[in-house]
Copies of this chain bind each other. A is one copy, B any other.
Amino acid sequence: MNEFNEYFKSAFTVDNVIFGFDEGDLKVLLIKRGEEPYQGKWALPGYFVYPNEDLDMAAKRVLEQLTGLRNVFLEQVKTFGAVNRHPFGRVITVAYFSLIKISYYTIQPSSIARKAQWHSVSKVKDLAFDHDEILRACFHRLKWLVRTRPVGFELLPPKFTLTELQHLYEAILETKLDKRNFRKKILSMDLLVDLDETQEGVAHRPARLYQFDRKRYEELLLDGFSFELKESRRKEPPQSKRGKREIASSN
């Protein structure tokens, strides 16, 4: 056993990429570092794993201290262990990502949490450590996840419109989707419950509100869920007014 002692000199941490969705934009929760190294830079929330703690527990702890939330989607993504990624010594970090409803998030009294802020995923750059790379890896995983499991559940408020759901998919997949095809596909999964309510206080025709059907959701996880829709090829603002007219729908 002594022959291995030289190896017991490293530390490991967890870092958590916390995704949320708001204002049609995919967001990630970052912390402004108050101390060295990388003081003043934005970083992913994370901490050392305690000696008596499993990895998943550590990730949950970090998430809860920051957001007050438990029982949310949380999954290990990848481990980063480049030799010099941390100036304090050999530290490898296990990256997790979680999906939360921003509307449920409340600022926690802990000192870390007071330095936290949501950032648009597409605009984030120049994070501390190798966190840019970690964020990219987690975003990539989220993109994959969205095809494999009905992800909206985790990120949207309990009641939402189909357009909101479509915007979420578009934000994650970084494409535009065709409205009619998207609706056809989503509704055919029998996953949404029509609440027979509509939006209020919007300056246009109000949209119907839906919620996810948790039971059906779990069925789909088992049966295999797969979401595939090509990017909409619709030309943006029609430059010619003279395209073939579509026959008006009559149903």
Contact = CB atoms under 8 A, between A and B. Distances in A.
Contacts of A76: 78-79
Interface residues of A, number: 28
Nearest to A95: B79
Contacts of A49: 7, 81
Nearest to A88: B1
A94 B95 CA distance: 12
A88 B5 CA distance: 10
A102 interface: no
A201 interface: no
B48 A83 contact: no
Nearest to A94: B79
B55 A4 contact: no
A81 B79 CA distance: 11
Given A76-B78, A78-B76, A88-B1, A53 B83 contact: yes
Interface of A: 1, 4, 6-12, 48-49, 51-55, 76, 78-83, 88-90, 92, 94
Given A53-B83, A55-B80, 19 more contacts: A4-B11, A4-B48, A7-B12, A7-B48, A7-B49, A7-B51, A8-B10, A8-B89, A8-B90, A9-B51, A10-B51, A12-B12, A12-B92, A52-B83, A54-B82, A55-B79, A55-B81, A55-B82, A79-B94
